[in-house]
Structure 1
Amino acid sequence: MALAVNKPADYDDRVFLNCPFDAKFKPLFDAIVFTIQDLGFQARHALIDNSNVVRVERIASEIASAKYSLHDMSRVQLGKNKLPRFNMPFEAGIAYATHAMNPYQWDHHIGILDGIQYQHNASISDLAGLDTKVHEDDPVKAISCVRDFLRKKSARKLPGGKHVTDRYLAFQGTLAVAAKKNKVKLSELKSWNYANDLQDLMASWILQNPS
């Protein structure tokens, strides 16, 4: 598996988000990505194309290139096909190997997100003891979960969850105008297909409206 070898200049600011890409999770994804960006970090995820067509290699490279990674375990239950969803635990395993084996001698910090307290312990008990934050499928709570994780692991002075939430709501209030300006439908802008477009808008808004 091809992993990143050269340490990126922005390594200390990169946060990789491992999460389900389903309709129910999209509001949480948007809130989490905004929070990461608004706190001065850089949100990375599998939807960012680094030209590697092999998805698992792209993800492994992203994890190895980030000082922090967040792994959402709220969708490991059985799906319609009666099978569990292994993607998120598998990617968390890659991150843990990066943390534990430390192949490049770079620190890597792992955070676990879940929708229900202790739910992941029933299916992935080996994760017990890692830093777990519960968002209850609520974007506002997800914002505080991410803020608290980054505050603890980075030891940086960061604004509180309420402050970031207020800014996120203010940003959301600009989306209708932004969609029209960029000649896209608001529904498109909020879809998974436009996740990177929305992230770019977040970055621009944050730059124009410093915290």
Structure 2
Amino acid sequence: MIAAPPFERSVFVNCPFDDDFAPLLQAMAFCITDLDFYPRIAPENANNAANRLDRIVELIRGSRYGIHDLSRCKSTAADEYARLNMPFELGLDHGCARFGPAPLTDKSILILEHDRYDYQKGLSDIAGWDIQAHGGEFAAVIRIVRNWLVHHAGAVNIGASKIQGDYAAFQEWHWERELALGASEDDIRDYPTIQLISAMRHWVDAGRPL
């Protein structure tokens, strides 16, 4: 059994896991990894015998930091239900920090949305919190997450442009490595995000090879 990353360097990421959101999630995960933290997402322990909610609670309790993206919490068509998983998990994380024992009281939370002030239409209770809008742009996600980790987690103070350059270098390295291992281009495009995150950690731990 692989040991969980340390609490002090774990970042729980609560966001959609569909194909449309994948570029933002992957950019976010890379930024976290490049700054030597560990992104924690629900699919990482999907084979756990516990139910999904218990697995999510375990990740929240094991992460000092939490990033919650609320950009998919509204319905987009008539008779469609709004998606409530993301605000529910934000509530779990906030409750864990507010009512849990130390070191959970040291938790820090970042909330993201697509367009500024969107959250006020459905979650006005968090008015006054510092909500960051990314506009669906992966470069904006990297800047926001980088600034937050530097300010709140003491991450190394490297620029967002450097992280974007690292991300491009990683993608080239990963693509070439997987092709050399016999994967097709379609295979690589179809890799689950959790496998990509594992490759990001390997690339960083290996000294960021070119």
TM-score (ref. length: structure 1):
0.88
- The alignment covers a number of residue pairs equal to 203
Letter of the structure 2 residue corresponding to residue 185 of structure 1: S
Question: Offset at 1:123?
Answer: 1.0
Residue of structure 2 in register with 1:128 after alignment: 127
Amino acid at match of 2:125: D
The amino acid that maps onto 1:64 is R
Contact 1:188 1:194 in 2 (8 A): no
Query: How do residues 187-202 of structure 1 correspond to structure 2 at under 5 angstroms?
Result: 187-191=186-190, 194-202=192-200
Per-residue deviation, residues 130-180 of structure 1 (Å, max 9, x unmatched) = 232211111111111111111121134321111101110111122331221
User: Which residue of 57, 61, 69 maps to 1:60?
Assistant: 57
Say whether 1:203 aligns with 2:191. Answer: no
1:98 corresponds to which of 96, 99, 108: 96
Which moved further from structure 2: 93-102 or 50-59? 50-59
Q: Secondary structure at the match of 1:15?
A: strand
Corresponding position: 1:42 with 2:38: yes
1:209 and 1:129 map into 2 onto residues whose CA distance is: 41
Tell me which residue corresponds to 1:75: 72
Deviation at 1:49, TM superposition (A): 0.8
Q: What percentage of aligned pairs have identical amino acids?
A: 29
Which sits farther off after the overlay, 119-128 or 98-107? Answer: 98-107
In 2: Cα distance, 1:118 partner to 1:19 partner:
18
- Answer yes or no: is the 8 Å Cα contact 2:35–2:155 preserved in 1: no
Q: Would the aligned equivalents of 2:175 and 2:188 in 1 still touch at CA under 8 Å?
A: no
Residue identity in the other structure for 1:72: D
Q: Distance in 1 between matches of 2:170 and 2:194?
A: 16
Deviations 1:2-38 (A, max 9, x none): xxxxxx7711000010000112110001101111000
Which ranges of structure 1 fall in alignment gaps of 5 or more residues?
Answer: 1-7
CA distance in 1 between partners of 2:80 and 2:192 (Å): 30
